[in-house]
Each structure stands twice: as structure tokens, then as C-alpha cells.
Amino acid sequence: MKRRILTAICASTVIISPACNADTAKTISDDVIETPIPVVTAESSQGGFSAPDNAWRDMDPENTLYVDTDHGRIIVELYPEIAPIHVERIKTLARQSFYDHITFHRVIEDFMNQTGDPKGDGTGDSSLPDIQAEFTYRRSSDMPVTLFSMRPKDIRNPKGGSVDVGFYKALPIATDPIGQAILTKDGKVNAYGLHCKGVTSMARSNDPNSANSQFFLMRGTAPHLDSQYSIWGATVHGRENLTKIKVGTKGNDADFIPDKMNKVRIAADLPEAERINVQVLRTDSPAFKAYLKNYRKDDGTYEDICEVEIPTRVK
């Protein structure tokens, strides 16, 4: 029986999750406006944050995923330019209504919400074949990233060497300096998503190429997962619902009755009347760079990039 393993944090150390749960499964530049802008979360952007209309972008309905739960709708932006195989799998299964009524079978506080198993115990998959890992991707200069300066000791690079962190669209990423692209055959550099709250990533077994249908939505920050699991999206609306999902693990917690996904759909497949017209602040805009100043410390650096939420508004 193939079981899905997702590394977890226990007793302040990074270990493989079975040590926490005896029966864990496929678990898994500043040339900007100087006017002060209040720090707001994405969900309160309408009430406390304003920016010119050209600073906002519409989401592509074909790459927008609606996850409807008992706690409300979670809207995820998909990134086929980063993880094409995984995005295609998620879209295929959503269009088959595969994810409807599937539970969040493993939910760990300050870590993640895992779902996508039709058996509900962490051992199940879809009937489709497993897919190849997309832990990293090749980034070209036409994929702009707004860099985020952190303290040297906080720079995320589990493999060593220099790395930049910043935002591509609504996704926090780490990337080799784009200046290195002139030295590569394809004119691109390596990059990967960061496991911050709201990021969506694929569960797998110990085999890197074993992802299938199970995935997890981050409810905390887990840098030890970076470049080890395939990130394919980021939550842009309904982030508050991520931490409303009931904590527990099916099979380990006797009284655990898991929450579920009632319906999962691609926005393009829904009538316009059923869609939410969410706009996301462009992270390559002067308005976003001004917004970031609210997180900057006196020494000019920032705390962890995961502390920053991308403002959105419903038009």
C-alpha cells in the first residue's frame, strides 16, 4: 500500500511525520510614492488600502480554482508557467468533480491542511498515473520578481549559495539572481516557490515522482519543504478560512470528524454570476513597492517574506 509522506515539525525539530503520527500517509528599487500606506491584510484591502486602478490585475478564470468549504470559499491562483504538469492534474480532477466532498484528512496547526484522498485516510489517489516532480522551475527575465531584502541569516537556500527572494505575481519565491541568466544555455535561472501560508503544494510519498491527487494548503510557514515539494498555486482570497479547518488526523484522533471540500471548480467553468471578481495588487507595481515599506525595519531589511500578504479587492 503506497502511503503519502509529508515532512512535519515536531518538538521544534524537522523530522519525518510518522514520528509525530504513528500512521501518517502521503502526507506529503524604491522609486515609489512616499505617502504612508497602512499595513493591511489581503482580505481587508478594500477597507484600508487604496491604489490606482492600473495597479490591480484581473485573475485568469482558466487558472483560478474555487475550493468551497463549510467555512467559505478559498480562491487559489494557479501557475502553469511554474508547475504545468501539476496545474493540469488539478484542473483535470476538478473538472471531473473528483474533489467534491473529499475530506481534509490530515490537518496540523500552524502547518498545513491536507486533502485530495478519496479514501479519506491518506492512502488513496485518483485512477490517473502519478506525475513527475516540479520542485523547481526555470525563470526567464519576462517573469518579473519584486525582490524582498531579508537579513542574511534568514535568506532561504537549503542548497547553499546566493539566492534572492521576492514575489512573482502573488507567489513568494526564491530565485537565483537573474543576472546569471546570461551564463546559462537557455537564458534562464533556477527558482522555486516558498511554503508560506496560503501556498498550495502537492503531497507525495518518498518517491519524488509520486504526486497524484493529494495536496495541501499551507496554514503556516514550513521552509524545510521548499524545493522538496511541487508548489502549483497560492491562495488570494479566503485566507482566513485556511485556519478554520478542523485540526486532526484521520485514524490517529479518535474524536476527529474532518471538514471537507464541498465543491472544487475552475472559475472558467462556472457561470459569471457564480464567480467572485477578485483583483490582485500587481507585485511589479510602484504601489506594491510602497506597500512593502510598511514591513521594512529601521535597518532597511524585513522579517520573513511569509509575513507579507498580497492585497486583493473584490471589484
Grid cell locating 256 = 476527529
- Has residue 2 been placed in a domain? no
Per DSSP, the chain holds a count of helices (H) and strands (E) of: 3, 20
Per-residue model confidence as pLDDT tens digits over 103-159: 999 999 999 999 999 999 999 999 999 999 999 999 999 999 998 876 555 556 655
User: Do residues 211 and 133 lie in contact, with contact meaning Cβ atoms separated by under 8 Å?
Assistant: yes
Q: Any idea what the CATH number is for the domain that residue 189 is in?
A: 2.40.100.10
- Has residue 298 been placed in a domain? yes
- Has residue 1 been placed in a domain? no
- Has residue 164 been placed in a domain? yes
- Has residue 32 been placed in a domain? yes
- Residue with cell string 504513528: 22
Question: What is the Cα–Cα distance from 17 to 108, expressed in whole angstroms?
Answer: 11
- How big is the chain by its Cα radius of gyration, in Å? 19
Euclidean distance between the first and the last CA atom of the chain, given in angstroms as a whole number: 48
Question: What is the Cα–Cα distance from 13 to 31, expressed in whole angstroms?
Answer: 41
**How many folded domains does the chain comprise?**
1
Grid cell locating 25 = 500517509
- Has residue 3 been placed in a domain? no
Residue 71 DSSP code: T
pTM, rounded to two decimals = 0.85
Residue 213 DSSP code: S
- Has residue 241 been placed in a domain? yes
Domain of residue 255, residue span:
8-314
The arrangement of strands across the sheet holding 312-314 comes to: 56-58, 278-281, 312-314
Q: How many CB atoms lie within 10 A of CB 60?
A: 12
User: Do residues 75 and 237 lie in contact, with contact meaning Cβ atoms separated by under 8 Å?
Assistant: yes
Q: What percent of the chain has pLDDT over 70?
A: 81
Question: What is the Cα–Cα distance from 118 to 239, expressed in whole angstroms?
Answer: 24
User: Do residues 311 and 38 lie in contact, with contact meaning Cβ atoms separated by under 8 Å?
Assistant: no
- Has residue 12 been placed in a domain? yes
What is the mean pLDDT for each group of 10 consecutive residues in the chain (315 residues)?
A: 45 31 40 34 51 96 97 98 98 98 98 98 97 97 86 57 86 92 94 97 97 98 95 97 97 91 98 95 94 85 87 93
